[in-house]
């Protein structure tokens, strides 16, 4: 059977997030992948983004440098991963694979995927305790997790309110954890989430 590519018609990605454009085929001993080209069409012009040939992987558009990759160790998977999505990444992407058969003939197939990069409105963080309620026995392991949905990237900071009314910065992670709680850890804690 001749190789055939499968993909999807449309992929939605979130601004500053990452997305995978699927392009796969069933590997076979009768056909060897010679060439993989990912190109992008936008405003009536088509540009090659990524090329994999005998000499290796090449990223040909500077705007995608360090942001795109294709799996290396999985035969039959030519999917394109795009990181740190920008609004101008929206467009039509084509995955084109060329195989060489045992009798040295070349077969070329392609699949086109429309990418839409959308912005997501930032929302207030929702803070939840890792266990119901906020009363813990002394000596217990405990953690508070700050969860925020919204436009990535989101940074987190945990504070403890001091008696003086000042806030003490405790962590710049989404989670604040204690190995062994002490009575002195009782108090008021709050989280801040921030994005662009």
**What CATH number does the domain containing 143 carry?**
2.60.40.10
pLDDT more than 90, % of the chain: 57
pLDDT tens, residue by residue, 127-165: 555 555 578 889 988 888 888 777 667 889 999 988 888
62 SS3 class: helix
Q: Which domain holds residue 100?
A: 5-118
Beta strands 106-118 and 10-14 are: parallel
Contact between 41 and 28 under an 8 Å Cβ cutoff? The reply is no
pLDDT for res 148: 77
Spell out a b/e string for 144-168, using b for 16 or more CB atoms within 10 Å of the CB, else e: bbbebebbbebebbbbbeeeeeebe
pLDDT for res 80: 97
pLDDT tens, residue by residue, 25-83: 999 999 999 999 999 998 888 999 999 999 999 999 999 999 999 999 888 999 999 99
**For the chain, how long is the longest CA-to-CA vector?**
82
pLDDT for res 195: 78
Total domain count for the chain? 2
pLDDT more than 70, % of the chain: 91
Do 86 and 113 sit in the same domain of this protein?
yes
Do 9 and 102 sit in the same domain of this protein?
yes
Do 51 and 9 sit in the same domain of this protein?
yes
Do 151 and 103 sit in the same domain of this protein?
no
The Cα–Cα gap between 134 and 60 comes to 53
Do 139 and 110 sit in the same domain of this protein?
no
Do 24 and 73 sit in the same domain of this protein?
yes
């Amino acid at each position: 059977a001749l190789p055939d590519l499968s993909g999807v018609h449309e992929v939605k990605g979130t601004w500053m997030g990452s997305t995978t454009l699927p392009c796969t085929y069933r590997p076979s001993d009768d056909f060897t992948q010679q060439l993989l080209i990912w190109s992008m069409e936008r405003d009536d012009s088509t540009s090659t983004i990524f090329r994999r040939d005998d000499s290796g992987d090449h990223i040909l558009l500077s705007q995608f440098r360090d942001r795109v990759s294709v799996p290396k160790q999985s035969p039959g998977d030519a999917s394109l991963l795009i990181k740190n999505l920008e609004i101008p990444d929206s467009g039509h992407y084509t995955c084109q694979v060329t195989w060489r058969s045992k009798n040295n003939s070349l077969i070329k197939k392609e699949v086109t995927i429309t990418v839409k990069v959308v912005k997501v409105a930032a929302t207030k963080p929702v803070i939840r305790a890792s266990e119901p309620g906020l009363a813990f026995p002394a000596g217990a392991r405990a953690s508070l997790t700050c969860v925020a949905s919204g436009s990535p990237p989101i940074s987190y900071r945990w504070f403890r309110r001091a008696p003086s009314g000042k806030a003490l910065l405790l962590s710049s992670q989404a989670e604040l954890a204690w190995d062994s709680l002490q009575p002195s850890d009782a108090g008021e804690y709050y989280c801040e989430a921030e994005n662009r």
